[in-house]
Amino acid sequence: MTKKFNCILLIDDDEATNYIHRKVIEEVDCAEKVVIAQSGQEALDFLNGKENDPNSPIDLIFLDINMPAMNGWEFLEHYKNLDSSKKAKGVLIMLSTSLNPDDHGNASKIDVVDGFQTKPLTEEKMIRIHKNHFS
């Protein structure tokens, strides 16, 4: 890939899934940095914190739906209210095991959500996302 994402934020409570998705991103060699948040609240804390470097903006967020304490839908309610300087500069994609058509439909109604993909993230999906949103 000629142009890399500055930063990809993975929001998922499952360590194994995060490991696999980080490996896929590394194999495709499409990001300078990958940040993992294991909860919606951890992701919000990162976005609001000083670790969220404006010189290396988040270009892509992958968000799981089903997480304890704060699920993906609840995260989105808080995310929509963040100052624009704290939000991703690019794309937010729901990445879930859910096959419920209501989840896909609900995601398409939220203006900050740019897509919905089923897990697992694969090299082919990652290349397609890059091509569709950053070429």
Q: Domains in the chain: how many in total?
A: 1
CA atoms within 13 A of residue 103's CA, in its CB half-sphere: 18
The DSSP-derived string for 26-49 is HHHT-EEEEEEESSHHHHHHHHHS
Asked whether the beta carbons of 14 and 8 are under 8 A apart, the reply is no
pLDDT tens-digit map of 15-38: 999 999 999 999 999 999 999 999
Domain limits at 11?
5-134
In angstroms, what is the C-alpha Rg of the chain?
Answer: 14
pLDDT digit string (tens) for 90-119?
899 999 998 888 998 999 999 999 999 999
The CATH number covering residue 12 comes to 3.40.50.2300
